[in-house]
Amino acid sequence: MEQSKPILPALPANPYRPGAGHAPPFLAGRETQLRRFEALLGQEPILKNLLLPGLRGVGKTVLLEPLRELARSHGWIWVGSEMSEAACISEEAMYIRLLADICMATSSLTIDYPTLQVGFTRSASTQQISLDMEGLKALYQSFPGLVSDKLTGVLRIACKALIAAGAKGVVFAYDEAQNLSERADDRQYPTSLLLDVFQRLQRENIPALLVLTGLPTLSARLVEARTYSERMFTSEPLSKLTEPQTRDAILRPLYLVGNPMAFSVESVELIIKQSDGYPYFVQFICREVYDAFAQRRISGQQLSVPMAEIIHRLDADFYSGRWSMLTDRQRDLLRLIASLESSDEEFTILQIEEAATKAGLKSRDKSTINKTLRSLTDRGLVYKDRHGKYCLAVPMLSGFIRRQAES
C-alpha cells in the first residue's frame, strides 16, 4: 500500500534580505564602526567626522540606520539623504540640499531674529522667523558674502535653534558621497563648500557632525577638494565580514524565525566560501538556499545546496546589469584586469599593459588604458587606492568576468 507523505508544518517567510539598503535580519560585525561613531558623538568640540568607505554591496546604506538610532539615543538630531549627482552639480544645488535636510528637523521651530532694514543695518526690533524652507532661504539671503558665508550663517542659526530646543547636536549623514566632486570648468566647487562650512561650524564649537558613506574613491575626492579633509575625518572602512561574522550573518536570521530548517555544517561552509564574506552575497545565497531547501523538503529530496544555479542567478541579478552598461573598450580592459593574478586586490597600469602585450593587444598603450580606467572610475567600477594603485569597486567582479569568458 502506498504510504502517504507526512504533512509538513508551514515554513516561516524567508528571512534573508538581498537588496539595496534593505535592512538585514541580523547586522553582523559592525561593532567597530558603531563604537567609533559613539565616541565621535562625545567630542567637544568636534574635531573629527566619520567616513565609511566600502565596496558595492558591503553594507554602507544599511549601517546608517543603526547609526541613526545610536545618534538619537544620545540626544542628537539626524538629518541627511543620498548625495545624488544632482546635489553636487553646483554650489547652489549643494546649499539647497543642506537647507532641505536641516529643514526636516527645524520646520516646526521659530526664532526671534533682528529685523533687517534696507542697507543691512539691523534695527532694535525683532521679528519671528519660522525655520521652514522659506524662512531658511530668507535667512540665507540675509547674510552678506559668498555662498559659504551665507550657508554657514544659516546652519549656525538652525543648529543653535535645535540645541536650544534640547538637542545635543546635529548629525548630517550622506550616502553615496563618492558623487561629491568639483566642477572646475563651470567654476563650481560644491565639495569644498560642504567641507568649508562644516569646518567653520565646528571651529565655532557648534556640534554639527558629518557622516559620509560611499565607494572607496570618496577619501581621494575629499582630499582633492580640500587637503585638510584628511584631518577632518576619521575613516572606518567597511570590509567584508570575517568568517565568524559571516557564520552569524547566515545562521542568526534562521534562529530569529525559530530555526525551522537547519542548514548543515557543509552548507554553511559552502556559503561562507562562495560569498567570501560579502554581505550582499551572503543574503542572496542564503535566500536562494532557504527557498531551495523549502522546495526540496516538500518533494522529499536531499537538502544539498544548488550552488551552480545560485551563482548563475547571482550573475544575472548583481553583475549583468552593470556589465551591459559598459562599452566594448571598457569590457576589454576589464577582461585584461580579470586575467591578472592580483585582480581582486590591487593592480597597476603597467600590469595591464603587460597583460595586453601578452594577449597580443598592441593598441592598448598606457594612455588608452589610463583613459578607460578613468571612465570606469566615473562609473563606480574601479577606484584608485591610497598607494595610487587601482582596485575593482565591485566585489568579486573578476570571477564574474572569467565565468562570462568561459560560458
Beta carbons within 10 angstroms of residue 223's beta carbon: 14
Q: How far does CA 262 lie from the centroid of its chain?
A: 33
Contact assessment for residue 50 and residue 212, using Cβ atoms and an 8 Å cutoff? yes
80 binds ligand ATP (CB under 6 A): no
Q: Which residues have CB under 8 Å from 173's CB, separation 6+? A: 64, 67, 68, 78, 79, 80, 210, 211, 212, 213
Q: What is the SS3 assignment for 165? A: coil
CB of 176 to Mg ion, least distance (A): 6
CA–CA separation, 92 and 216 (whole Å): 26
What distance in Å separates the CA atoms of residue 312 and residue 399, rounded to the nearest whole number? 12
Quote the CA–CA distance of 157 and 112 in Å, as a whole number.
11
- Decide if residue 179 touches Mg ion (CB under 5 A): no
The enclosing H or E element of 402 equals helix 397-406
- Of 39-47, 58-66, 88-96, 146-154, which part binds ligand ATP (CB under 6 A)? 58-66
Minimal distance, residue 24 CB to Mg ion, in Å: 13
Residues in the interface with ligand ATP (CB under 6 A) total 24
Q: Which stretch binds ligand ATP (CB under 6 A): 14-22, 73-81, 131-139, 351-359?
A: 14-22
Per-residue string for binding with ligand ATP, 236-265, x by CB under 6 A?
Answer: -------------x----------------
Q: Closest separation between CB of residue 285 and ligand ATP, Å?
A: 11
Residue 153 touches which of Mg ion, ligand ATP, none (CB < 5 to 8 A by kind)? none
Integer Cα distance of 399 and 117 in angstroms: 67
Pick from 40, 50, 58, 208 the residue near ligand ATP by CB under 6 A.
58
CB of 41 to Mg ion, least distance (A): 23
Minimum distance from residue 63 beta carbon to ligand ATP (Å): 7
Q: Give me the residue whose beta carbon is nearest to ligand ATP.
A: 59
When binding is defined by CB under 5 A, the residue of 33, 61, 152, 202 that contacts Mg ion is 61
| Phi and psi torsions of 189, nearest 5° | -130, 65
Q: Does 283 bind Mg ion (CB under 5 A)?
A: no
Count interface residues toward Mg ion (CB under 5 A).
2
Q: Per CB under 6 A, does 279 bind ligand ATP?
A: yes
Task: State the pairing for strand pair 233-235/76-82.
Answer: unpaired
Stretch that binds Mg ion, among 23-31, 58-66, 104-112, 249-257 (CB under 5 A): 58-66
CB of 374 to Mg ion, least distance (A): 23
27 is an interface residue for ligand ATP by CB under 6 A: yes
Residue 245: which residues within 8 A CB-CB, separation 6 or more? 28, 29, 277
Asked if residue 18 has a cis previous peptide bond (ω within 30° of 0), the answer is no
Count of Cβ atoms closer than 10 Å to residue 107 Cβ: 14
In the set 49, 60, 106, 356, which binds ligand ATP (CB under 6 A)?
60
> Which stretches of the chain bind ligand ATP, using CB under 6 A?
17-22, 24, 27-30, 54, 56-62, 249, 279-280, 282-283
